[in-house]
Amino acid sequence: MKKINKKTLSFVLASFLILTFVSAGLVTYLSNTATADVTIESPLAFGMFDGTNYVDSISLGTVTAGNDIIILTKEENKASKAIPANLEITITETGDSEGVTSCDMLDSLDAYVLADGNYNTHALDLNDEDIVTCTAYPGQNKIVYSFSKNVAINSNYFKVVAVPAINMVGTYDIDMQFVIQEE
């Protein structure tokens, strides 16, 4: 049997230990990772005026068919750039009436932007070219009005005026949202 030189053995073991520590340090150095958690929120805040505050939901009580339904809204752009968006209004029958059957359920639908303390700036009109689609879903008892006119949202106040047709008798939910358009 061949004798192992103690000096050579010591050198090999020392080299092996040094190589182990260097490669462990190198792996740690190359594998360092930083992690950040983030929650991304909608850039738009939207609310309806309840007489005191802007909230997500309000009750309008009883309105007579043919009379104005007036909803005051506020939308806020929380992003650092203008956001092109379209107003979408969904009317869903929730009671025991005959249901939403056609786009003729409203006689008129308008939206006005608050400017100079008044809601005189006409923004959207059901009877103008502002509307893209009115789609009735009789099986689901709902109508969706989608306006084509982009509204550059900064921090705007709107007055939405809807006049239900004489035959629109029943209980309904009116949902409004701004749908962000791709640039």
pLDDT digits (tens, 9 = 90+) for 13-62: 777 777 776 666 666 666 677 889 999 888 888 888 888 888 988 988 88
What confidence score (pLDDT) does residue 151 get?
A: 62
- Chain position carrying tokens 């006005």: 112
pLDDT at 147 over 70: yes
- The token duo for 93 is 């029958």
What confidence score (pLDDT) does residue 91 get?
A: 86
| Closest alpha carbon to 76 in 5, 158, 3, 16 | 158
Q: How far apart are CA 125 and CA 9, in angstroms?
A: 91
- Domains (range + CATH), the chain: 44-180 (2.60.120)
Q: Based on the number of CB atoms within 10 Å of its own CB, is 151 exposed (0-12), middle (13-18) or buried (19 or more)?
A: buried
Considering the entire predicted model, what is its pTM?
0.65
Mean pLDDT for the stretch of residues 90-114: 76
What confidence score (pLDDT) does residue 39 get?
A: 92
- pLDDT above 70 covers a percentage of the chain that reads 70
Residue predicted with more confidence, 35 or 148 = 35
Mean pLDDT for the stretch of residues 125-146: 72
Distances (CA, A) of 113 to 18, 121, 123, 142, 148: 74, 5, 6, 26, 16
What confidence score (pLDDT) does residue 139 get?
A: 79
Mean pLDDT estimate for the chain? 76
